[in-house]
Structure 1
C-alpha cells in the first residue's frame, strides 16, 4: 500500500509540474475519449440506448447495424438547448455559474434500398449522422484568506483570492454508414466517423496582499490556449433476433486517431519573453466495445440495455518527456471506460413515451496529492474523484406522429461531483510550471482543492419525415 502511494505521488509530482497539467488530463478524457454525443430526441430520451433496436441514423452513434433495421427512408433535425451549471465550494464558501446555449444538435438521415430478389438479403441501407455539442465549462472558486503565499524576495505575504477555469468551444461527429438486413433476423453494419473539436481555454487566479490591500491577477503559464483538432474512427456492428421478442447486438469502434494543433501564451521566457507558442500532437483514444440486448414485447413497448467497455487506454505520440509522463500517468492511473445505458419506449396510438438512464464510471484511480486544508495547512490526501468523476444521466421524452411527419421532445439531466485541483507550482518570472507574475516569486508545494458539483439540464426538439 505504501509503495503504491509513493509511486502515485512520484508520478503526480513529475506530471503535475507541466504547464497545462490538469487541463490535459481533463480534455484527454472529457473531450477526446469519453464525451457522450447528441442524437435525435428519441435517442437522447432513451439514454442513448439503442444498440439492439436501431432503426434510425442515431444508430451510428452506438451500433451501425441498426441502419439495417430501417424499412423506410427518414430524415430529421434536432435543436438542442444545453444548460451547464458548476458550483465550486472551498472552505465553506460556494460560487455558482450557469451557462445556457442553443445550437443545432443533430441531423440524420437513412435511405433504404429494398432488394427485389429471391436472396435472403432484404435491404441495403445507407445512413449519415451529424452530432454537435458545446464544450463550454466554467468553474470559479472563491478565495481563502487562510492560504498564504510568501514572496521569497520581499517576505511579503499574499492570500489566495480567487481562481477561474474557463473552457468554451464545440465538438462534432459526422458519421457515414451502411447497414444490411438478412432475412429479417440478422442485421450487419459498418460506419466511418469524422470528429472535429475546437476549444479555447484559460486558467486565471488572484492573490490579495496582506500588507497593502492590493490584488494581483495571474494567468497560468501556457494559457490562454487554443486547440483545433480532428479525428477519425471506424465502427462495425451486428444485431441478431433470437426470437420475435428478443434481440442481441454487439459493436466495436476503433480508437479515434486525433491530430491536435495548439496555440498557447507563455510569459517571461529567458529568450523569447512574452510570446505565443505553437505545437501539434497525435492522440489516440481508447478502443471501445458495446454489447446490447433488447426486449420488444409488442409494437407498443420496447426496452434496450447497452454496456460499453473501453479496451485500451488513451495515449499521446511521444515527442518530448511531457508526452512520456502523460502516457505513464494514464498507464498507471486510468480506469478503462465503463458505461451502462438503459432506455424504454411505450406507444399509445400516435403518442410515444420514452425514458432512459445512463451511468459512466470515474476515469481515474484514487490519487494522492498534497493539498491545503481550509485552515491553510499542507497535508497529503487521497481522492477517488480527482479532476473527473462518474456521470449519471436521467432522461425522458415524448413524441407524436403525424402520419409521415413526427415531432419529438426530450429532457436530459446529467450530474457529476468531483474535486478540482489548482494553484500548484511556482509564481515566478522565469518558471514554466505554474502561474506567471511580473513581481512575485512565490512557491506553492501543494494544490488548492475545491469540490465541484456539475449539473447539466439539456432540452431537445426533433422534427422528422419518413418516406
Structure 2
C-alpha cells in the first residue's frame, strides 16, 4: 500500500470541495451527458438518429439506419469548436474561452452486401466508426473582492471540525520529500493556519479580517471517444434492424488555480491554491435499433442503448503557495520565525473506480415530402437516476459504503431526462440545405441555486451529393448555464459561486465517397 493510499482517509476527511471522494456523482453525470454527435449532415439536422437512415451516424446512433445503404461508403469529419464563457462572481463579470481544431471528430466505413438473387432480405451492411461522443474542453475564469472569506477559511472549518493535534499535522508532512499528506498539514507548515492551544485546536489564521481579491482560472480538456461495430439488415424494404457494440474511451484533465490577495494583509500578501485531475478509462456498451417504413413517405424508428460500463483511474494533485511578508513574524529577539517553505505540494492521490452510465432510449418519426426533402423528430429518454459508481480500491466495508452512499446521492440529485430533437432537409438537385433544433432537459431534481441547466442547440448545414462523392458542412450553437463553487463553508452567506453562461459553436465538415 502506498503512503498516499494510507493517508487517503485523513486526506478526504479534511477536504470537502476536491473531486476525490467528494464528487463522483457529478463525475458520473459528466461522463454520461451526450449533446450532439455524428456527421455534419446529422448534426445539421439536430442530431436526429431515431427514424432516419442512410448516414454513417447511424453506426453510433440507431444502427438500424445502416440497413438503408445500397452501396459502400467511407467518410471523415474534422471539426472546429469555439468555447466562450462569461462568469459572474461577487458582482464582477469575466469573459474567457478558447478555440480547438479536431482533425477527426468522426470517421466511418460502411460495407454493404446485396445478394445476387431475389430474397426478402434485400441487403445487409457492416459499419465501423470512430466518433467523439463528448468533448470535455472548457475554459472559464472568475474574479471578485470577497469581504467574507478566503479559501483558508474552508481549511479552518474542516480542521476545527476534526480537531487534529499539532503533532498529527506535523506527522502528515514529510520533511525529506517536502510533501504533505493532507491539505491541513500543508496550510499548517505554511503558517496559514495556526494553533491556539498547546495541543493545537482550535486553529486560527493571520489577516482574518482582510478583504480578499480572488481570481480563479479553470481549464479542462479531453474527450469521450468510441469505436462502434454495427451490423444491420433490410427486410423487404419495410423493416430495418441493426445492432452495435461500442468500445468507449474517456480521457479528462483539468487544472484549477485560485489566486488570492489579502488587500490589507500584514503577515501574508495572499495565497495560491492549485489542483489538477487526470482521469482515463475504458468501457463497453451495446445498442439495438429498429426502423419501420409504414408508407413510402412515413417511417418510425427507435433504439435502446445499454449503460456504458466503464473502469476509470484518476490521479489528483494539489499544491499551496503562501506569499509571506518577510519579517512580519518575529521572536523575542527580533529574528524572523515565519514559514521556512512557501510552496508545498500534497502527495498525489490515486484512485480507481467503475461507473455505469444511464440507460438510453429514443423514438422518432420521419415524413418525406415528395422528392424535396423530409422532416424528422425524436424524443430521447436518459435515465440519469440509474447511474452508479463503485470501487474495489478500499476495504470491503468501505467499498460497500462508497457504492451505497453514491447510489443515494445520485438518486437524490438526478432525474430522468427527456430530450427533444427536430430537423429538416431540403433537396434541390445535388444540393442540400438543413436546419435542426435540440432541447436537452435539466437533469437536476432541485435547482437550489436557481439555475436552469437545460441546453438549447441550434444547427444548420448545407451539402452536395453526386453519384460518387458527397460533402456536408454544419454549424451548431449550444447555450447553457452552469455554476462553479471554489469552496464551501457552513454559512452559505460566507462564500460565493461563479454563475457561468456557456456558449459553444461547433463547425463540422464531412467528406466521403461511395464505392
Calculate the TM-score normalised by the size of structure 2: 0.75
- Note the C-alpha offset of 1:90: 1.6
Within 5 A, what are the aligned runs for 1:416-427? Answer: 416-425=480-489
Q: Are the aligned partners of 1:50 and 1:343 in contact in 2 as well (CA < 8 Å)?
A: no
Q: CA deviation at 1:259?
A: 0.6
Preserved contact between residue 365 and residue 384 of structure 1 (Cα < 8 Å) = no
Equivalent residue, structure 2, for 1:193: 246
Cα deviation, residue 172, structure 1: 0.8
Structure-2 separation of matches of 1:405 and 1:196: 31
- Aligned counterpart, 1:76: 75
**Local SS of the residue matching 1:239:** strand
- Distance (whole Å) between structure 1 residues aligned to residue 209 and residue 116 of structure 2: 82
Q: Is the 8 A contact 2:97 2:140 kept in 1?
A: no
C-alpha distance in structure 2 between counterparts of 1:23 and 1:85, whole Å: 25
- State the alpha-carbon separation in 1 of the partners of residues 29 and 253 from structure 2: 17
Would the alpha carbon gap of residues 17 and 216 (structure 1) be closer, same or farther in structure 2, given more than 3 Å must change? closer
Which residue of structure 2 lines up, in the alignment, with residue 316 of structure 1? 389
Q: Distance in 2 between matches of 1:225 and 1:26?
A: 14
CA distance in 2, matches of 1:288, 1:241: 23
**Equivalent-residue separation in structure 2 for 1:284 and 1:18 (angstroms):** 23
Distance in 2 (CA, whole Å) between partners of 1:215 and 1:55 is: 60
Show the 5 A alignment for 1:292-331. Answer: 292-311=364-383, 313-318=386-391, 320=398, 321-331=401-411
Aligned residue for 1:66, secondary structure, equals helix
Equivalent residue runs for 1:243-254 within 5 Å:
243-254=295-306
Deviations 1:162-192 (A, max 9, x none): 2222211122111110110000000000001
For 1:291, which of 363, 383, 391 is the aligned residue? 363
Distance 1:384 1:96, change over 3 A: closer
1:211 maps to which residue?
Answer: 265
**1:178 aligns with one of 231, 239, 251:** 231
**Offset of residue 160 of structure 1:** 4.5
Give the structure with the larger strand fraction. Answer: 1
More divergent stretch after superposition (208-217 vs 335-344): 208-217
Whole-Å separation in 2 of the counterparts to 1:407 and 1:399 = 6
The answer on 1:64 being equivalent to 2:117 is no
CA RMSD of aligned residues (A): 2.5
Range with greater deviation from structure 2 (133-142 or 172-181) = 133-142
Once the two structures are superposed, residues 3-35 of structure 1 have per-residue CA deviations (whole angstroms, 9 ceiling, x without a partner) of xxxxxxxxxxx99936317764443223x1112
Matching of residues 56-455 of structure 1 within 5 Å: 56-103=55-102, 104-132=104-132, 134-149=135-150, 152-154=204-206, 156-158=208-210, 159-209=212-262, 210-212=264-266, 214-219=269-274, 223-266=275-318, 274-311=346-383, 313-318=386-391, 320=398, 321-368=401-448, 382-385=449-452, 389-425=453-489, 447-455=495-503
Can you give the 5+ residue segments of structure 2 that lack an aligned partner in the other structure?
1-12, 154-192, 194-203, 321-343, 393-397
**Using the alignment, how far apart are the partners of 1:60 and 1:15 within structure 2?**
47
User: 5+ residue gaps in structure 1?
Assistant: 1-13, 369-381, 427-442
Q: Quote how far apart the aligned CAs of 1:136 are.
A: 1.1
**C-alpha separation in 1, matches of 2:15 and 2:49:** 39
**1:330-388 Cα distance to aligned partner (Å, 9 max, x none):** 111201122111111110011000110111111212254xxxxxxxxxxxxx5354xxx
1:458 equivalent to 2:513? Answer: no
* Residue pair 1:266, 1:277 contacting (<8 A) in 2 also: no
Aligned partners of 1:289 and 1:305: how far apart in 2?
14
The whole-number CA distance in structure 2 between the counterparts of 1:243 and 1:406 is 27
State the distance in 2 between where 1:300 and 1:15 align: 64
Q: Offset at 1:81?
A: 0.2
1:134, 1:95 → 2: CA distance? 23
Check conservation: 1:264, 1:278, Cα contact below 8 A: yes
Q: Secondary structure at the match of 2:27?
A: helix
- Partner residue in 2 for 1:435: none
Could you tell me how far apart the structure 2 residues matched to 1:313 and 1:140 are? 33
Looking at secondary structure, tell me which structure has more helix per residue: 2
Cα offsets for 1:390-412 (capped at 9, x unmatched) = 11100000001243111111111
Distance of aligned partners of 1:45 and 1:57 in 2 relative to their CA distance in 1, 3 Å threshold:
same
CA distance in 1: counterparts of 2:80 and 2:27, whole angstroms: 22
User: For each residue in 1:46-77, what CA deviation from the matched residue of structure 2 results, as whole angstroms up to 9, or x when unmatched?
Assistant: 11113211112211232100000111211111
- Inter-partner Cα distance in structure 1 for 2:494 and 2:113: 63
Bigger radius of gyration, 1 or 2?
A: 2
